[in-house]
Amino acid sequence: MIRLLEARDVDAILAIQSASPEIAQWTARDYVRVGQGEMAGWVAQEGASAAVTGFLVARQIAGDLEILNLAVRPDARRRGTGAELLRHSFAWGQSFGAASAVLEVRAANATALRFYQYHGFEVIGRRKQYYVSPVEDALVLRARLP
């Protein structure tokens, strides 16, 4: 099940983020702002306990959908959760007329690159030393929305 991210989800999101050092490391306040509607955000829930298994944060920027952060709990990966969150964000982008989705990913994150390329993203640029801890280039990816 995919639903809007709410402030009550922050602890679960921070736990997923902590287990995903390759993603952007945001503060609890950042996610509270998402829950308050400053950015778009969704969580995936699974199982009888309805535990949060993944999340995606995005925003509308210059007529495009920008994906800011996406992660799935390590024990819930490879079950389609990330793909479902991505599809949900694409539908949101289509609702405001976005023609494409853009994002940055660590250049060395081969797993994320394969995932995004599988979902129609192409590398369109590189941002030198974009990430810190460790310092690393970012690849800029874009996908045309259906």
46-62 pLDDT, tens per residue? 866 689 999 999 999 98
CATH (one of 3.30.70.20, 3.30.505.50, 3.40.50.10860, 3.40.630.30) for 2-144: 3.40.630.30
> Domains of the chain: which residue ranges?
2-144
Both tokens of 124, joined, read 């369109």
Fill in the amino acid letter for 84.
E
For tokens 């989705």, name the residue: 101
Strands 122-131 and 64-72: unpaired
Q: How confident is the model at residue 25 (pLDDT cuts 50, 70, 90)?
A: confident
Stretch 14-21: mean pLDDT: 93
CA distances from 112 to 6, 22, 66 (A): 25, 9, 16
Say yes or no to pLDDT of 110 above 90. yes
